[in-house]
Amino acid sequence: MTDHVTLFEMGPRDGLQNEKAMIATADKIKLVDMLTDCGFSKIEVTSFVSPKWVPQMADASDVLAGITRADGVSYAALTPNMRGLAGAQDAKANEVAIFGSASEGFSQANINCSIDESLERFAPVLEAAKAAGLPVRGYVSCTVECPYDGATPPENVLRVTKAMLDMGCYEVSLADTIGTATPSGISRMLDAVLAEVAPELLAGHYHDTGGRALDNIKVSLDKGLRVFDAAVGGLGGCPYAPGAQGNVATESVVAMLEAQGYATGIDQVALAKAAAFALSLKETA
């Protein structure tokens, strides 16, 4: 049987969050609908975060209200705190995500608190989501390198990953936030995490600043990971990670995986159309 790889499409959230000019809500909805037509089972649609911090995501509820949902597709939203969770529940997100960091510098810059404080904030989000039957994903940023603190010790990644899983996250996505990691750095980090965590509970979220994201996915596949985050058109960057480029382009990941004999279930023709549309939003924004 062909090995299946799940791609978690990040374009509407990680891809667009950093755009300075406001993108019309109708265009965001159109992008999500085009991605649904590509056959993704997971699409991160938006974030319920402070509009002062990330103005581009201020229309989160309207985007989720406007999309045409398909059966079997999970439409996700970032929820850093209880207020975010309430917004996501009202807007009927199918799953939510908390996001922490393996480095203190990025934790402070991105969510304005220390790693330990963030874990304290996440605990009630997990409890409430569990009570509501809502799956929660976790992100760990800066798993290899941090723009503020430099190299991240792999044991920090293990600690935060385990804490998120212990709280009840169904999966933790390990991020190379600034896209500078090499396969050997990813490999060292994954070895530390995989010493205590099964690969089925992990995903890879690699930005492509240094052009090594596909190589980093390959090394992660070799270690048993089968879920990867990617953004259509390679859009994106994090407002609190200076210099970081977009996620690895979904169309490149799909092409690489299919060439290597993995099944993704993604329609590459529809994906090319979605990528062209996504890039046109960036150009006009």
Q: Which residues bind ligand HMG (CB under 6 A)?
A: 14, 17, 47-50, 53-54, 78, 80-81, 83-84, 99, 110-112, 139, 141, 175, 177, 205, 207, 238, 240
Question: What are the helix (H) ranges across the chain?
Answer: 25-38, 60-66, 82-90, 104-111, 115-131, 154-167, 183-194, 213-222, 250-259, 268-284
Contact 12, 43 (CB under 8 A): yes
Would you state the torsion angle of the CA atoms of residues 23, 29, 32, 36, taken in this order, to the nearest 10 degrees?
Answer: -160
Q: How far is CA 130 from the centre of its chain?
A: 20
Pick the stretch among 11-19, 26-34, 69-77, 156-164 that binds Mg ion (CB under 5 A): 11-19
Distance of CA 79 to CAs 62, 66, 135, Å? 16, 19, 12
Task: Point out the catalytic residue in the list 113, 142, 146, 238.
Answer: 238
Rounded CA separation 279/221 (Å): 28
Rounded CA separation 173/144 (Å): 13
Among this protein's residues, is 146 annotated catalytic?
A: no
Residue 247: CB minimum distance to Mg ion, A: 6
Return the residue of 7, 9, 11, 14 that touches Mg ion, per CB under 5 A: 14
> Considering beta carbons, is residue 97 or 119 the nearer one to Mg ion?
97
103 contact, one of ligand HMG, Mg ion, none, CB 5-8 Å limit per kind: none
Q: How many residues bind Mg ion (CB under 5 A)?
A: 1
228 contact, one of ligand HMG, Mg ion, none, CB 5-8 Å limit per kind: none
> Considering beta carbons, is residue 68 or 244 the nearer one to Mg ion?
244
Residue 230: CB minimum distance to ligand HMG, A: 12
Pick the stretch among 10-18, 27-35, 107-115, 218-226 that binds Mg ion (CB under 5 A): 10-18
Q: Which residues are catalytic?
A: 238
